[in-house]
Structure 1
């Protein structure tokens, strides 16, 4: 083989290897960047409302796990306010990837019990600080769970709550469930302490609507009363209504759109 041809082949081979190497390096950098973008910056802690079960958030967890498998931590607050802990780990994941469900065995629908549950939440959060070194979190509150989170952030159960970055509320009855006789017992203390909500980076307040001004349980006016608490206090406040045929308060957590909202506003933030 002539030397010129041989050296030409060597030059072409070297150039090809260089191109492949640059391509692999670019892909690796892209993969790393993608991982950083999709990785959670903090765990997500979820609380349901009255007459809840440990499985209220199973559909949301399943939807979130469809794209990225998360470790799941279940914290149970017993009727006498003791803490039970269960953890399902996932290899090569961090606490920030975790989905944490706090379940109250006594979730009776009374104002007095919501106060008790808020105290239980404070104990659960203090436990998580010690057990898994929790420093901050995003939060999701469904129905009365939204009231419990709001009371906790407002410092009504502890003077040093764990910092909550982003908060989503779904079907939260800030003024109860009777539009003609709004219940201010839990709402007014929040109004007096609304300055505490300045610590929140973003709040998303979601209501369900059957097109009759309620979700068959909670009036829209009760949910939207959250605007007076968070608007112009939290860094960003977004209020939205989910209007789907046959929607009801009881199935809000099963709506696929709600799962997408959770991913967009709480998991990818």
Structure 2
């Protein structure tokens, strides 16, 4: 099993990607399972959905009860995500996965890789993020926020063999309506030259707005090509409806 593990942005719940999973399954004739986890502020985890037996590429979404914005919360969310990630490893015993993050979800991934992730027994193949504000609202990439400086300092902790594609929306040519293009582009200071491959992709058009991008045809094609399809032939094609029990808290 090589799951796609997904983290939503601030103010979004573990249900954020329900439509995306449905669209991918319908558009490509695939049958990916969906397991959703919510980590609460008391470190407990609640579950929804399940993973089918023999599903090689299930979707797993990890959301947070405290889904507020801000650097201090991103650090807390990375710690909570680490709890969920360890539960998943213990239950499903996969040795590789793909990562996806929308908005602040990409920041949680980055902080997690730098502070919690142990790649001695498990590896991340591909990561894709959309509208991740590595420099928050700062438009000038030469003006680094404290968060960006901290993430740059610990970039050597990030697994070197991963491939990362960062998507920026340019609805207004300089931003996606919320996140400046320069803030998304600031991810290069963390990843470029350290990991195997880093790419910045810009989306344009009517659905290049921050919240709408994951519903655009452009994005869905990229998501399937980079995150769902790599190294897996006909992912999730097993149609059995038998459910695997969810891990216990």
Q: Deviating runs (4+, > 4 A) in structure 1?
A: 180-183
Change (3 A) 1:198 1:102: closer
* Cα pair distance change 1:178/1:191, threshold 3 Å: closer
Calculate the TM-score normalised by the size of structure 1.
0.78
Q: Output aligned runs, 1:118-157, within 5 Å.
A: 118-154=78-114, 156=115
Q: Match of 2:25?
A: 65
- Which of the two has higher C-alpha Rg? 1
Shift of 1:60: 1.6
1:174 offset after TM fit, Å?
A: 0.2
**Secondary structure at 1:106 match in 2:** coil
CA contact (8 A) 2:125 2:163 kept: yes
Q: Is the 8 A contact 1:73 1:86 kept in 2?
A: yes
Superposed CA offset, 1:179-213 (max 9, x none): 26956222112111212334342100100011330
- The alignment partner of 1:245 has SS state of coil
CA distance in 2: counterparts of 1:169 and 1:159, whole angstroms: 18
2: CA distance, partners of 1:187 / 1:81: 27
Equivalenced residues, count:
225
* Alignment partner of 1:46 is 2:12: no
Long gaps (5+) in structure 2: 231-249
CA RMSD in angstroms comes to 1.9
Distance 1:84 1:165, change over 3 A: same
Alignment map for 1:224-243 (pairs within 5 Å): 224-243=185-204
Structure having greater relative contact order (Cα 8 Å, sep ≥ 6): 2
- Give yes or no for contact 1:163–1:199 (8 Å, CA) kept in 2: no
Distance 2:129 2:208 in 1: 17
* Match for residue 157 of structure 2 among 182, 190, 196: 196
* CA contact 1:75–1:83 (8 Å) conserved in 2: yes
Match of 2:38 among 36, 60, 76: 76
Q: Which residue of the partner structure matches residue 176 of structure 1? A: 136
